[in-house]
Structure 1
Amino acid sequence: MDFKNKVVLVTGGSCGIGAEIAIQFSKQSAKVVIVGRNEEKLMKVAEQCEAHGEAHAVKADLTNDLEVERVVEETIKRFGQIDVLINNAGIVKNTKIEEGISDYDKIFNTNLRSVYLLTSLAVPYLIKTKGNIINISSGTSKKIFPTMTVYCMSKAAMDMFTKGLAVELAPSVRANSINPGPVKTDLWVHAGVEGGETLMDMYGAATLLGKCTACKEIADMALYLASDKANSITGSSFVIDNGILLK
């Protein structure tokens, strides 16, 4: 696959799935814009991308509307277009209904509201390039997990948002989601979950295949969906979960 002269905007790009997606697109000649909150990690990923092509790092908090606007403004100022939008940024947090609304607001503001706003700002440019949108959702959108009700809700909404985009933006723009199961990243560590370093290994062991998914496998799916090879695919969710939803 060749993404020469294509501009790919990746949120949550400072580590994990987002970082790997940015690196793999850069290896396929794409110009990448990487968005994240951790500037040090962001710059390290940008350096890896620049070993293969052009990259631009944008430090931004996507729960801040002005910073979301700045992400699009910097992308257009630097590269003049957007061909692929990868909505990957998100948070996970254990929640309980009796603990009130605060965690709900935090999760939905990051996992859904910021995605909606960024996408709305990017859409005019995606229409011009006949580009596509890839939302990184989760297998939890399809099955409830204990103490994760709000996170599951946010990802179920992400899947429906993906379908709505596919309907609204056809035939100019394609929209699909990737729904991973356990992926070995530091997401749970960042969430402050006790034992986060081993938690994903436990989830991986519980899958039918007995393992976590590698970040590169998610990146490979994103490359495929953004390519001409997937020209007939829109409004679909692609589960990569090692069979955990079947248990």
Structure 2
Amino acid sequence: MDFLNKVVVITGASSGIGAATAELFSKQSASLVLVGRNETSLRDVAAKCETAKGIKPLIVKAELSNDDDVKNIVAQTIERFGRIDVLVNNAGFGCEAGIRDGIEPYDRIMATNMRAVYLLTSLATPHLVKSKGNIVNVSSVAAFRVIKDLDFLPYCISKAALDQFTKCVAVELAKDGVRVNSVNPGATRTKFVQAAGYTKEQSDELYKIRDKKMPLGKVVESEEVADLIVFLASSRARSITGAIHVIDNGEILV
């Protein structure tokens, strides 16, 4: 796989799956646009990426729930590179909330996990049509199963919506030669749980429990998800679109 002269936009690129995906794309000679809220972390990831092939990534600090920030991602990308070949909609978050917690958690999560994806994809589409590019959405197994050990109702809803978004946009853009796919990880060893409000100790304990529960005896690593994302974005996956790809160590089976 080679992405020389291909421009790849990755949201949520400052850590976890996004950072691992950025590093893997950099090894394949991609020109990267790294999007996130933590500029210090983005610079750390960018520095690692640049060492791979000497290609300096573009860093865009953005709050994806802010429409102007989302518009700025595309504007800066086109100003710097003049094209978009791959859009990886990876940014997302969860928080502990159920139906008794009112509408605020739902609105907050949907603003980033779904509305921002819709807007950014809409703005990137004309450029992806020109390049015959593709989109990879990072969803979750929470799209089609209840997370039994966490009260994550709004998060689960957002990911179910994202999967349907993937299928609908895949059909709409197929005639233009643009592919759209989804990667749905199960429990993945990132700072996701801590970002949702849990302590590091609680997070570590949760992963230990999940390690034992998984049929393959382990949780997913960010680098494994990155492998799948890069494959789907490559020409090797040229006949794959509208597909939901589960990577979960068998989590949905138990």
TM-score range, shorter chain: over 0.9
Residue 177 (structure 1) aligned with residue 182 (structure 2)? yes
Distance 2:223 2:208 in 1: 17
Alignment partner, residue 132 of structure 1: 134
Residue 217 (structure 1) aligned with residue 224 (structure 2)? yes
The one of 106, 109, 117 aligned to 1:107: 109
User: In structure 2, what residue type is equivalent to 1:7?
Assistant: V
Alignment partner, residue 93 of structure 1: 95
Q: How does 1:183-202 map to 2 (within 5 A)?
A: 183-194=188-199, 195-202=202-209
1:61 match: secondary structure: coil
Superposition deviation, residue 144 in structure 1: 1.3
User: In structure 1, what residue type is equivalent to 2:156?
Assistant: C
Residue 141 (structure 1) aligned with residue 148 (structure 2)? no
Structure 1 unmatched runs, 5+: none
Alignment partner, residue 234 of structure 1: 241
Contact 1:6–1:31 at 8 Å: present in 2 too? yes
2:249 match: secondary structure: coil
Superposition deviation, residue 219 in structure 1: 0.8
Residue 151 (structure 1) aligned with residue 155 (structure 2)? yes
2:93 match: secondary structure: coil
User: In structure 2, what residue type is equivalent to 1:161?
Assistant: F
Of 7-16 and 54-63, more deviation after overlay is shown by: 54-63
Contact 1:182–1:204 at 8 Å: present in 2 too? no
Alignment partner, residue 79 of structure 2: 77
Superposition deviation, residue 193 in structure 1: 1.9
Q: CA RMSD in A?
A: 1.0
Distance 2:82 2:30 in 1: 14
CA distance 1:75–1:134, change in 2 (3 Å): same
Distance 2:138 2:62 in 1: 19
* CA deviation string 1:71-100 (max 9, x = no partner): 111111111100000000001111121110
User: Identity percentage over the alignment?
Assistant: 51
Distance 1:21 1:236 in 2: 19
Contact 1:104–1:150 at 8 Å: present in 2 too? yes
Distance 1:66 1:241 in 2: 35
Alignment partner, residue 68 of structure 2: 66
Count, aligned residues? 247
Alignment partner, residue 24 of structure 2: 24
Distance 1:120 1:193 in 2: 34
Q: How does 1:33-72 map to 2 (within 5 A)?
A: 33-52=33-52, 53-72=55-74
Q: Give me the TM-score of the superposition, normalised by structure 2.
A: 0.95
Contact 1:22–1:34 at 8 Å: present in 2 too? yes
Superposition deviation, residue 149 in structure 1: 1.8
* CA deviation string 1:91-110 (max 9, x = no partner): 11111211100100111111
2:96 match: secondary structure: coil
Structure 2 unmatched runs, 5+: none
1:113 match: secondary structure: helix
Distance 2:99 2:125 in 1: 35
2:219 match: secondary structure: coil
Contact 1:30–1:54 at 8 Å: present in 2 too? no
User: In structure 2, what residue type is equivalent to 1:44?
Assistant: D
Spell out structure 1 runs of 4+ moving beyond 6 A. none
CA distance 1:107–1:228, change in 2 (3 Å): same
Contact 1:26–1:54 at 8 Å: present in 2 too? no
User: In structure 1, what residue type is equivalent to 2:186?
Assistant: G
Alignment partner, residue 162 of structure 1: 166
Distance 1:118 1:205 in 2: 38
